[in-house]
């Protein structure tokens, strides 16, 4: 039996003890063979580590896993291959530059970094690039900050476009995304990657990445909006955020926007082994629990457009039925209408049904 951080779990491992949330609610019993779905549930409950058996399950125990055909198609596409190659290069450049900035006080060339980041979203021949498909297939980085920051930059840039920000402000959104978590470089790795639950003091320490980030960026003479976003991206519309507990319109626009890209990336960021998490799972949680926490206009724009990118995609429902997303329901964005054969299934009025997978 060994204790494994949730971030290191892979399907086929077997739980060696009951897993509880805060020692109360049973999340997974002992003896369960882990699958992608059960690991995602552990993430949802913010469980940081569990006990697993030394032996893995036989392969046959995983036979019921669905093949990732859609994911394979994305990964094999020319657009994705170009994206992933450039993404890897950008991560290297970004981590080198940002470390030199924080540790050696070297001035950073924001324009070069920004141009590199935004060029990830450009395609030569106008090929359609769905940033959600690209990012969900890029999961596989075990770092806590660099890939996350790049993802948040890309998602924020796209959200700023959807919100019809000016071209300059769309760029600003990407820059704010790149630097929003820079303060984490000053938080000890033992805390950021701690395999067991954090103490109150350690959690407080993690929260200081906002103020630390603000100071690093201010010292570097960075644009004030970028500094402010590092400080305020964990503020929440209902006042439940930190460090200042600001509410509603007190939260600056870029901080509110980055907060949304940030949580989406955190929820969908996943494990080294796996293909993409079904985006409708994350979008559904955001719609059910995020409308108070985030600027209503921003979160609705995000959900509406994110869901729209999946219009006409083929999906498999949790019943096993396969169909096509044909209509986005304004009243329940994460639960569109699916055409299955000649039937139209409106998921917004069928709470027991859900989209299990894009195929």
Residues lying near Fe ion in the complex (CB under 5 A) are found at 181, 262
Strand partners, 50: 4
Minimum distance from residue 239 beta carbon to Fe ion (Å): 18
Q: How far apart are the first and last CA of the chain?
A: 36
SS3 content of the chain, % helix, strand, coil (to 5): 50, 10, 40
Minimum distance from residue 58 beta carbon to Fe ion (Å): 39
Minimum distance from residue 93 beta carbon to Fe ion (Å): 19
Question: 28 vs 185, which CB is nearer to Fe ion?
Answer: 185
Question: 52 vs 253, which CB is nearer to Fe ion?
Answer: 253
Question: 139 vs 335, which CB is nearer to Fe ion?
Answer: 139
215, 165 contact by CB (below 8 A): no
Both tokens assigned to 272: 């080294």
Minimum distance from residue 155 beta carbon to Fe ion (Å): 11
101, 108 contact by CB (below 8 A): yes
Chain CA centroid to CA 67, Å: 22
Minimum distance from residue 123 beta carbon to Fe ion (Å): 27
Minimum distance from residue 233 beta carbon to Fe ion (Å): 6
Minimum distance from residue 177 beta carbon to Fe ion (Å): 9
Question: 43 vs 181, which CB is nearer to Fe ion?
Answer: 181
For the CA atoms of 77, 79, 82, 83, the dihedral, rounded to the nearest 10 degrees, stands at -110
CA atoms in the 13 A half-sphere facing the CB of 20: 4
Minimum distance from residue 181 beta carbon to Fe ion (Å): 4
Please count the other Cβ atoms lying within 10 Å of the Cβ belonging to residue 309.
14
192, 144 contact by CB (below 8 A): yes
The Cα diameter of the chain in Å comes to: 63
CA atoms in the 13 A half-sphere facing the CB of 63: 4
Contacts of 348 (CB under 8 A, 6+ apart): 329, 331, 332, 335, 336, 337
Question: 156 vs 334, which CB is nearer to Fe ion?
Answer: 156
């Amino acid at each position: 039996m060994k204790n494994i951080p949730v971030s290191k779990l892979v399907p086929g491992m077997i739980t060696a003890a009951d897993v509880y949330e805060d020692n109360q609610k049973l999340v997974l019993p002992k003896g369960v063979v882990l699958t992608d779905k059960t690991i995602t549930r552990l993430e949802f409950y913010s469980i940081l580590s569990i006990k697993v058996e030394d032996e893995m399950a036989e392969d046959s125990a995983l036979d019921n896993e669905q093949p990732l055909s859609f994911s394979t198609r994305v990964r094999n596409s020319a657009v994705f291959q170009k994206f992933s190659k450039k993404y890897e290069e950008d991560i290297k450049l970004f981590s080198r530059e940002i470390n030199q900035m924080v540790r050696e006080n070297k001035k950073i060339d924001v324009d070069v970094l920004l141009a590199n980041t935004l060029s990830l979203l450009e395609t030569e021949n106008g090929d359609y690039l769905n940033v959600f498909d690209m990012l969900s297939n890029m999961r596989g980085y075990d770092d806590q900050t660099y890939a996350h920051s790049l993802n948040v930059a890309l998602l924020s840039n796209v959200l700023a476009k959807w919100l019809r920000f000016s071209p300059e402000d769309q760029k600003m959104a990407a820059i704010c995304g790149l630097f929003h978590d820079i303060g984490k470089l000053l938080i000890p790795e033992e805390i950021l990657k701690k395999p067991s639950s954090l103490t109150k003091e350690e959690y407080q320490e993690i929260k200081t990445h906002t103020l630390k980030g603000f100071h690093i960026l201010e010292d570097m003479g960075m644009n004030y909006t970028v500094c402010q976003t590092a400080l305020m991206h964990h503020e929440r519309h209902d006042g439940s955020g930190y460090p200042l507990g600001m509410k509603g319109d007190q939260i600056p626009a870029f901080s509110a926007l980055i907060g949304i890209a940030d949580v989406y990336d955190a929820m969908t960021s996943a494990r080294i082994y796996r293909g993409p998490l079904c985006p409708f799972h994350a979008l559904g949680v955001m719609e059910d629990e995020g409308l108070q926490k985030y600027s209503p206009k921003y979160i609705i724009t995000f959900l509406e457009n994110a869901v729209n990118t999946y219009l006409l995609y083929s999906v498999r429902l949790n019943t096993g039925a396969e169909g096509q997303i044909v209509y986005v329901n304004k009243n329940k964005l994460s639960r569109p209408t699916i055409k299955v054969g000649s039937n139209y299934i409106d998921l917004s009025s069928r709470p027991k049904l859900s989209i299990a997978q894009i195929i």
